[in-house]
Structure 1
Amino acid sequence: MNKEEAKDRLFTHGSFLQNSQDWPNCFLGMLKPYRRTISDDVYDDIIDCLKTLFDEITTADNIDSRIVAGVHGILHSGRMWLSHPDSGLRMSGRISDDEVARLEGWLDNISAIYHTMLMVKTDKEHLFSQYVLRKDPQ
């Protein structure tokens, strides 16, 4: 994926408006309406977007608003819908506590990666190697 596609993908993942034909398959689009699980492919796509944009995020004086809005939307709306016990999603009982914990782990990872990219000069491979999802059962 190129940088422009990555910016658009992040923005779509973090938008709570149906602003793209891809929205139903992106992070917030899969939380609302929630369909019992969200594939690890969604997490991997967000991480791939951040990898693609690593140089821009770590070195640019100004960061494209699609990046900022996308990551902020993923983190803010994701936490509001997942973590807040009075959210419609949590009150509906459609999402299990295990799924909430799994998705909150994603949000923790995305937040840590983005914060590190903004604040710390780090090696790209080292940074992302810390946040790979385990595909094999323990």
Structure 2
Amino acid sequence: MNRSEINEVYVANRVKDFKRQAASYDICRKWMRQLEKSNPWLCGDQVKDTGYQHGKAQAEIWRQYMYLRRQMAKVDQLLDRIEEKHGLIARQIVYLQYVEKEKQKVLSEEYGICLRTMQRSIHTWMEDALAYEAK
């Protein structure tokens, strides 16, 4: 395998990972809100990604909460890269398709883009954002 083939395989795997993470984004957000509601100590600046030093029960809740935050951050980071390279509209379209599970046909009509053009654009945006990471 040459370098470009390796990069293609890497990007394809990262796209699959992103799709899985994006599909669970809304669930993670709901779970985080539920944890924050039942554990007010999770809200605020004192919650850091460095560890929690209190009882076992709180430590387990903290671990779950931080896992959810990291999962959501992975999606947000890719969306940020897409926005940086291709603009806010690109970010919105990718977010709506993969996180909100909006149909491509609806998105193409809403944004006034031919369906096939939008599909190609999404593919390009995803590859650009992920290939940037691979370099």
TM above 0.5, yes or no, is no
TM-score, normalised with respect to structure 2: 0.34
Larger helix percent: 2
Higher radius of gyration, 1 or 2? 2
TM-score normalised to structure 1 length: 0.33
Determine which structure has greater relative contact order: mean sequence separation of CA pairs < 8 Å that are 6+ residues apart, divided by chain length.
2
